[in-house]
Amino acid sequence: MIHLKSADEIARIAAAGHVVARVLDAIRDAVRPGVTTGDLDALAGKIIRESGAEPSFLGYGSPPYPACICVSVDDEVVHGIPGSRVLEEGSIVSIDVGAFLDGFHADAARTFAVGRIPAEAAHLVRITEEAFWKGFDMARTDCRMGDVSAAIQAHVEQAGYSVVRSLTGHGIGRALHEEPDVPNFGHAGRGLRLTGGLVFALEPMVNRGGHPVRISPDGWTVVTADGSLSAHYENTLAVLPDGPRILTA
């Protein structure tokens, strides 16, 4: 069942989203060679809790997710578990943050460069962010979900990259994952008719190589099957009568 949100509920998701945005800003400044992924998790946890929020991901799912944020390096797509790994110059690192505040979750992710990165990696990161905005532009009440999905897929595939298929964006609100699923591939003109009050996380995951992924032995980390680089860009947004609005700004 899809839970459409009232203006008050959207304001509360935006408040959680403000915490998420502050965490991503702080992590952007903290990412550099020599920092551990666990350092970034500690920084995120501190900001989330000082804001009066709770980390959405800690304890989520099974096995229970063991950290506040996901930190996914290079060929890791999403759900990388932070720890003692040291970030190295030339890597890309995807940071996914969820915060729960006043009864509601918000969720967003960015891929950052660690020091100077190869042009190919920078291009992947840029295409992934652009793909998000292509989908965002379709998140309107005169569109269907397939228009959002197809716009993302077209932008990614034009660049010669692949969208991950086995993971999608998702509705979000009182629960971190709600209906509907928000695929990053699909057919224009098909799927759910978008209506005002629909709130979802739109999150293209883009591989330089093929779309297949696998889960590593830790039970969480999703990696590309062919070892190629992967990038992620996510915001929580609301479909409103006058167009989509980002709630994680």
DSSP summary character for residue 87: P
DSSP tag of 185: S
Q: Is the dihedral of CA 7, 11, 16, 18 positive or negative?
A: positive
Give least dist CB 20 to ligand MF3, A: 10
Give the x-and-dash track for 154-183 against ligand MF3 (CB under 6 A). ----------------x-------------
Residue 70 near which of Co ion, ligand MF3, none (CB within 5-8 Å, type-dependent):
ligand MF3
Name the binder of 211 from Co ion, ligand MF3, none, CB < 5-8 A by kind.
none
47 lines the binding site for Co ion (CB under 5 A): no
Q: What angle do CA 121, 123, 129 make, to 5 degrees?
A: 110
Q: Which of residues 35-64 bind ligand MF3 (CB under 6 A)?
A: 57, 60-61
Distance CA 204, CA 167 (A): 9
* Nearer to ligand MF3 among residue 150 and residue 205 (C-beta): 205
Taking the C-alpha atoms of 135, 140, 109 and 176 in order, what is their torsion angle to the nearest 10 degrees?
-130
Could you give the CA distance from residue 16 to residue 25 in angstroms, rounded to a whole number? 15
User: Could you give the angle at which helices 37-50 and 7-30 cross, rounded to 10 degrees?
Assistant: 140
Assess 9 for contact with ligand MF3 (CB under 6 A).
no
* Residue 107 engages Co ion in binding (rule: CB under 5 A): yes
Interface map 190-229 toward ligand MF3 (x if CB under 6 A): -----------x----------------------------
65 is an interface residue for ligand MF3 by CB under 6 A: yes
Q: What are the phi and psi torsion angles at 79 (to 5°)?
A: 65, 25
Binding site for ligand MF3 (CB under 6 A): 57, 60-61, 65, 70, 79, 96, 98, 107, 170, 201
